[in-house]
Amino acid sequence: MYLIDKHNLPKHIAITMDGNGRWAKTKGKLRIFGHENGVKAVRDTVEGAVEIGIKYLTLYAFSTENWSRPKNEVNALMALLVNAIHKETKTLMDNNIKLDAIGDITKLPQKPQKKLLEAIEKTKNNSKMNLILALSYSGRWEILNATKKIIKNNLSESEINERTFQQYLSTKDVPDPELLIRTSGEYRISNFLLWQIAYSELYFTDTLWPDFRRTDLKEAIKEYQSRERRFGNTN
């Protein structure tokens, strides 16, 4: 059912992990229950991506807009982040996965920021896959941040082109995603990797994130492989 062409894999997959709150609601539970179960989906998806041979996987974990959620939910999410990073670092090491992060990490509370940086440092020499967490991230923030850096460096108009601009983005060392997956049946980009997904294939699934597994990832890749990518050309 999930016959994947290993010669036509997307090098980079990005995922908007949506639906934790709605999943919890269907169970009669608080939203944080959905976030807790979403960690299981992360683990299985990450391990599945490594198994398939994906080189870069970016997960939209916490947007800049998420800071406006109720304080108790944000606090619970930050505590969950600390716990998840602590528990999953061994899994990252066992699977030779390098951890990285994009976003305004300085906005994170001290403890999750410290745990995140420790995990990034510990896994920096791993080479099988690069797992990138988008935390306190938004595409507009990233583009504005890149623009400010360019102004600060006094680049002339003639020096600024797409390649130059890309070097000021958080993802300057990462290829653009060929495939963007969004769960939960929503059909929005939600301020995620706005520059990078210019030519990405978009895949939407009704599956709520806590129910997403490596089989769902394989189904998305199978769909990606069935499409013809033209990059604006007619042939």
- pLDDT average, residue stretch 190-205: 97
Q: Give the span between the Cα atoms of 20 and 80, in whole angstroms.
A: 13
pLDDT of 89: 94
Out of 20, 37, 66, 145, the active site residue is 66
Give the pLDDT of residue 103. Answer: 96
Rounded to 5 degrees, φ, ψ at 120 are -60, -45
Q: What is the mean pLDDT of residues 70-77?
A: 93
Assess whether 96 carries a catalytic annotation: no
Write down the mean pLDDT value for the chain: 94
pLDDT for res 228: 80
Q: State pTM to two decimals.
A: 0.95
Confidence grade of residue 68 (pLDDT, cut at 50, 70, 90): very high
Strand 97-102's sheet: what is its strand order? 97-102, 129-137, 56-63, 12-16, 179-182, 201-204
84-115 CB burial, b ≥16 within 10 A, e <16: bbeebbeebeebebbbbbbbbbeebeeebbeb
> Which pLDDT score, from 0 to 100, does residue 234 have?
54
The per-residue pLDDT for range 161-172, each reduced to its tens digit, is 999 999 999 999
Lowest mean pLDDT among 21-25, 50-54, 74-78, 227-231: 227-231
216 catalytic residue (yes or no):
no
Q: Catalytic: which of 18, 20, 37, 100?
A: 18
Whether the per-residue pLDDT at 235 is higher than 60: the answer is: no
Q: What is the pLDDT of residue 229?
A: 76
How many other C-beta atoms lie within 10 A of the C-beta of residue 149? 14
- Averaged pLDDT for residues 208-226: 97
Instruction: Please write the tens of the pLDDT for every residue from 133-143.
Output: 999 999 999 99
